[in-house]
Structure 1
């Protein structure tokens, strides 16, 4: 069918012939169908190309947008993590500061039991420094540990007075109160009071003796930590027993005038490593 040819003559506007070609006769006979088919084929090719370009572009944009979405999700997760860490840090700081406050309050309560003033920061100041959360947590933990150490040391240290009465005879040499002659060493502090007044322990410790002992009369002797000892003499009655553990501020006996005494008072002694020292040094913190 394609072997049968038909000549096609190209004519210029002035009627002269310029070129002649031979094409299959079927093309000339069915030129409309051929043209339509060609148009359809070209359209199909163009549409296919457009679809391919769009598909490629769509996939490219999908990839780019997918990366951006993944980045946004990662940033969101990081923000959520940072917020959680911030909340956790704030909670840890709150717990740490609350612990410091509770420890300080506990120490102050013990100070009150001994007749001492609460611990306060006086004559201090300075600018407020902005620090990181980690630094604040570390700092608060440090203060917490220091306060706990202070609390443990204070518990075994004889601070304050066992009785609020005024001092009638200080520590050191004095005139003999019975003969009013000569001098004698007074190894404690005498505090005036009324018979039956409560006498309180000035530190946490163990009772090593509770009973009557010569010139002391009824006396309570206690052993504390760090080499401290205390003695509460001339009592009318003891309220504790040997081997008993007593907290600071607890009543160990009742004031009296037993033993070598000229009237109702409390003879109070403090010893450090078995050496008697002036108890008045420990009346204030």
Structure 2
């Protein structure tokens, strides 16, 4: 963390923040268009990335798995994240180190990548000292909270700055006891159907932002077919391979044309 930065800054007032909270009621196509237009105006990834992630991951998760929490969130909209990534996890639920003990509400956390704001943490379920592979838990973690340690990540790909404001990502560890209404147990099989879609949604969202930044630079590409086809496929539940290929092409074009760019673009462009 850099001198003078607060451990966590509130994003609950979207009108005064450089990092706006997205309209969760937008359709998939409308959201892609909105990302494009905002990127075309600003010419920057930084102010749009947190909202893009929220709409595509925790917002989408709440819509599909935890609608009660989504209704509560709507009363006080704020940026928040989904804490899944752990050391050695590689997307395998049975490798999760973070756990919830349902009988006591005790949550033990060890997360590598946590977005600023509250988080929904993905945890294994532990009963009688043993993990139950048939279930996983979603745990609503209000941050900051006693017992939870946050360490700001120093990699440039996870740091976003715009108009004098900074949006950070963290490592999160510690223990906290949660009430029953802050946790949700679901079958692991149900999550496995949804979880793999998150990255696909993020990549196609980044594709829309890349298109907007290119347009800001006077480079016009075919946006309408991307918004229409990708939006329809996202609405159906899963972006298709052709959507990902188009998004990757837009990102590669941005890396070719835009000299001063956020480091995340190069990281995405280097993915296999």
What interval of TM-score do these two structures reach, taking the shorter chain for normalisation? under 0.3
TM-score, normalised to structure 1's length?
Answer: 0.17
Q: RCO greater where, 1 or 2, for CA within 8 Å and sep 6 or more?
A: 2
